[in-house]
Amino acid sequence: MGFADSRVAEAKARSDQSVPVQSGRGDGEDGDNPAPIPVKLVVAGGFGVGKTTLVGAVSEIPPLTTEEEMTVASEGVDDLSGVDRKETTTVALDFGRITISDEVVLYLFGAPGQNRFWPLWNDLALGAVGAVVLVDTRKLQEAFASVDFFERRGIPFVVAVNIFDDGYQYEPEEVRDALVIPPEVPIVICDARDRALCKNALVTLARHAIDRTPSELT
């Protein structure tokens, strides 16, 4: 088992499994029960950090993606360092859904990572209860813009450190110090390909948002 694999296994062991994730609700299952509360969450981060992968891994429905092939037109525009094998990129948003309980359904909106698509972030953030800022430790400096975006708007967020086999595996508190993350902001270890770890990041965010804005979510 490689070092990255051991970190993922450790994160799984630490993740809180007390909140079950149910499968999607079918037609006719509601009966007299009220409709679940829709909660909008944003998955953000730099270019190539794994946002589309995370949404696809955790969504209970086939995710909506706006992936387009990368062409020579992006040369000199997009920074491909660390993601030189990337062949497609999100040009608008990713969308997925995950049912947390009979009362709560999370709607996930993945934001595009390239700087030229950042004007879309304002629209995606409208009505969002919180955000997951996905971090690639190989390009840690790219996380500053995402952190600043949500801090300035007062939107609760958590930092999810995505594990890459060729990246240095920092401890969460090292990431906190490097990005100057306030102590109340949760930092979790994540593998964007792993549904359980992605779910844990989302549940952590939901709890953090409830702690920050209880009057809006209860």
The total domain count for the chain is 1
Query: Is residue 79 in some structural domain?
Result: no
Query: Is residue 78 in some structural domain?
Result: no
- What is residue 150's predicted lDDT score, i.e. its pLDDT? 96
CA pair distance 136, 116, nearest whole angstrom: 20
Query: Is residue 17 in some structural domain?
Result: no
State the pairing for strand pair 130-136/37-45.
Answer: parallel
- What is residue 162's predicted lDDT score, i.e. its pLDDT? 94
Q: 102-115 pLDDT, tens per residue?
A: 888 999 999 987 77
Containing H/E element for 173?
A: helix 172-179
Query: Is residue 181 in some structural domain?
Result: yes
Number of Cβ within a 10 Å radius of residue 55: 26
Number of Cβ within a 10 Å radius of residue 129: 23
- What is residue 75's predicted lDDT score, i.e. its pLDDT? 47
Distance from first CA to last CA of the chain, Å, rounded? 43
Assigned token pair, 68: 């387009």
Query: Is residue 118 in some structural domain?
Result: yes
Query: Is residue 22 in some structural domain?
Result: no
Query: Is residue 94 in some structural domain?
Result: yes
- Give the chain's residues under pLDDT 50: 1, 3-4, 15-30, 70-78, 83, 86, 216-218
User: Where residue 147 sits, what CATH number does that domain have?
Assistant: 3.40.50.300
- The residue range of the domain holding 164 is 37-68+89-212
Query: Is residue 176 in some structural domain?
Result: yes
